[in-house]
Amino acid sequence: MRSPNPRVAAVHDLSGFGRASLTVIIPILSTMGIQVCPLPTAVLSTHTGGFDGYKFIDLTDHLEEYIRHWTSLGIEFDCIYSGFLGSPRQIDIISGFIESFRRPGQLVVIDPVMGDDGGLYSAVNTRMVHQMRRYIGLADIITPNYTEAVYLLDKPYKDSVDEEEIKEWLFLLTEQGPDIAIITSVPDCKSRKTTSVIAYNSGDGRFWKVKCDYIPAGFPGTGDGFASVMVGSIMQRDSLPIALDRAVQFISSAIRASYGHRYPEREGVLLERVLGNLKMPVLTCTYEIL
Ligand code: PXL
């Protein structure tokens, strides 16, 4: 007999300060009624976006034993959700984990966390980018931001991009294996005031778009928040466009709740103030079909 709540294996780092990765993912998914089982890839004193001298404890050498224990217990997961990985070797180890813990009806979501604003995070190197291109083939859903999509597809980074070009990129990403590709923070070529999330489901050939108001702030961890709401929403059996709307609306509300206060952006959004929104139904949807 299994406990009734959906269960997710969350393969991410734990950053002690700054609201990113597991400190964002666990509260969001727990609020959405999902049991989170962390498989920590690294422990950091802070995330790497804006703090100098952070302590980085790489857990690569411990992962296989950790996974062996889970195997011996026969634990089953309804979803495997992978994000920031601490070394290129972890990609091989976690690929093996996904293959051996696969079960029918399970969802595999890979957020290929590598960078933002045109560059790679300081803990990510080009070897990881190359491995990531292969790794995303194991996923049902991938959620790169615009910068990560550029790196995955080896495209030049531009400040704005045509919608038709993004559709082509999404198609190319799904050709690498995932059924659904979602690109976040897509800059709008017509307006500096909006960005978009654009998604493609290769199963039915449909493209979806949700526009977001652009707020001139760069809070780290919002990509983790977006992907977590997507995971929670899909596990609650929402459709793809509804899940996109819920995730965009949640992150927008978190940014708006934070932006009016004056504190360092590197501390992330004031998640604690908006978590309750996840309990409410989506009343207005803004998604478009492209
Ligand atoms: O939010 C993505 C992320 C995850 N993990 C670590 C990070 C970042 C972004 O900066 O530094 C350690």
Q: Is there a contact between 16 and 87 (Cβ–Cβ < 8 Å)? A: no
Nearest CA to ligand 1 atom 7: 47
Which residue among 15, 52, 59, 110 has the greatest number of ligand 1 atoms within 8 angstroms of its CB, and so is best to mutate? 15
pLDDT of residue 14: 98
Residue 189, pLDDT > 90, answer no
- Which atom of ligand 1 has the smallest separation from the CA of 56? 12
Provide the token pair at 59. 């857990």
- Which atom of ligand 1 has the smallest separation from the CA of 113? 2
Give the global pTM.
0.97
Band of pLDDT at residue 191, cut at 50, 70 and 90: confident
- Which atom of ligand 1 has the smallest separation from the CA of 42? 12
Cβ(121) – ligand 1 distance below 6 Å: yes
Band of pLDDT at residue 31, cut at 50, 70 and 90: very high
Homologous superfamily of 7-289: Ribokinase (3.40.1190.20)
Q: Of 175, 197, 278, nearest to 235 (Cα)? A: 278
pLDDT of residue 208: 98
Q: What is the mean pLDDT of the chain?
A: 96
Cβ(14) – ligand 1 distance below 6 Å: no
* 81-97 tens-digit pLDDT: 999 998 999 999 999 99
In the chain, domain spans: 7-289
Cβ(51) – ligand 1 distance below 6 Å: no
Nearest CA to ligand 1 atom 1: 221
Cβ(48) – ligand 1 distance below 6 Å: yes
Cβ(13) – ligand 1 distance below 6 Å: yes
Cα-to-centroid distance, 118 and ligand 1 (Å): 15
